[in-house]
Amino acid sequence: MARKKVAIEYIASDPTRKATARKRDMGIKKKAGELSVLCGVDTCYIMYREGGASPPEVYPSVPEAMRVIDRFRSMPELDQCKKKMDGEDYVRERIAKIQEQLRRAQRDNRQLETTLLLHDTLVGRRQGLAGVAIEQLVSLGWMAESYVKKVSDCIAYRNMQQQQHAGVQAEPPHYGATVADMEAPPHQQL
């Protein structure tokens, strides 16, 4: 039977709260043990019960937990905090990653729009370029120049091959990037 989603909020009922703490305590101990075995790291877990009357739950044992804590405390403060992350740091990191993904998606979209505009213009779906933004016109010009360069290189290479068959040796020209490898012109990149 599938579990229902549990709302993460304080449990008002004492028996339910204690049962949940006991079950979650066992689960966390299991995860700490698995993490230790799978990754070869030292783990410890200390949980103080509600009210503080009973001794804290310690995993794997009090001496082992003290060893791990002492080892952590003996590290320089810089090493202790090296990978420490609070909620604000986490949100900042996620925002930076999402902004980078957005920049890449915008660049890809601009390139696809320019390719579509060039294609529509070449096949006659557009009567002219009136109403096209200046940025798109610049991109369109850059892309058209890239295609013209590539075609020129192909023609030069073909001519060189014909000359080689006639007995003249020459170096092959450098081919430009393929359409898939092309990026937006430098002024359009963020």
pLDDT tens sequence across 12-67:
898 998 888 888 989 999 999 999 999 998 999 898 888 777 888 888 999 999 99
Whether residue 63 is found in the same domain as residue 108: no
Model confidence at 153, in pLDDT bands (50, 70, 90)? very high
Whether residue 18 is found in the same domain as residue 42: yes
Instruction: Indicate yes or no: pTM above 0.75.
Output: no
Please report whether residue 54 resides in a domain.
yes
Residue 184: the pLDDT is 47
Domain of 98 in residue numbering reads as: 87-165
Whether residue 33 is found in the same domain as residue 72: yes
Whether residue 43 is found in the same domain as residue 70: yes
The tokens of 87 are what? Answer: 């909620």
Residues 94, 165 contacting (CB under 8 angstroms) = no
Whether residue 76 is found in the same domain as residue 107: no
Count of domains forming the chain: 2
Please report whether residue 4 resides in a domain.
no
Mean model confidence pLDDT for the chain? 83
Whether residue 79 is found in the same domain as residue 138: no
Residue 169: the pLDDT is 56
Residue 171: the pLDDT is 57
Place of tokens 């804290």: 56
Residues 32, 58 contacting (CB under 8 angstroms) = no
Please report whether residue 122 resides in a domain.
yes
Please report whether residue 175 resides in a domain.
no
Please report whether residue 140 resides in a domain.
yes
The tokens of 94 are what? Answer: 């996620």
Question: Among residues 20, 55, 83, which one ends one of the domains?
Answer: 83
Question: Among residues 83, 99, 133, which one ends one of the domains?
Answer: 83
Cross-strand bridge partners of residue 59: 45
The residue with greater pLDDT, 11 or 54, is 11
Whether residue 18 is found in the same domain as residue 75: yes
Residue 173: the pLDDT is 55
Please report whether residue 183 resides in a domain.
no
Whether residue 49 is found in the same domain as residue 66: yes
Residue 182: the pLDDT is 47
Residues 69, 60 contacting (CB under 8 angstroms) = no
pLDDT(180) > 50: no
Whether residue 28 is found in the same domain as residue 60: yes
Whether residue 21 is found in the same domain as residue 68: yes
Question: Among residues 28, 50, 83, which one ends one of the domains?
Answer: 83
Closest listed residue to residue 121, CA positions, set 96, 139, 97? 139
Closest listed residue to residue 14, CA positions, set 6, 5, 22? 22
CATH number of the domain to which 71 belongs: 3.40.1810.10
Closest listed residue to residue 107, CA positions, set 13, 189, 45? 189
The proportion of the chain whose per-residue pLDDT surpasses 90, expressed as a percent, equals 29
Residue 107: the pLDDT is 92
Please report whether residue 188 resides in a domain.
no
Return the sign of the alpha-carbon dihedral for residues 32, 79, 92, 40. negative
Whether residue 112 is found in the same domain as residue 153: yes
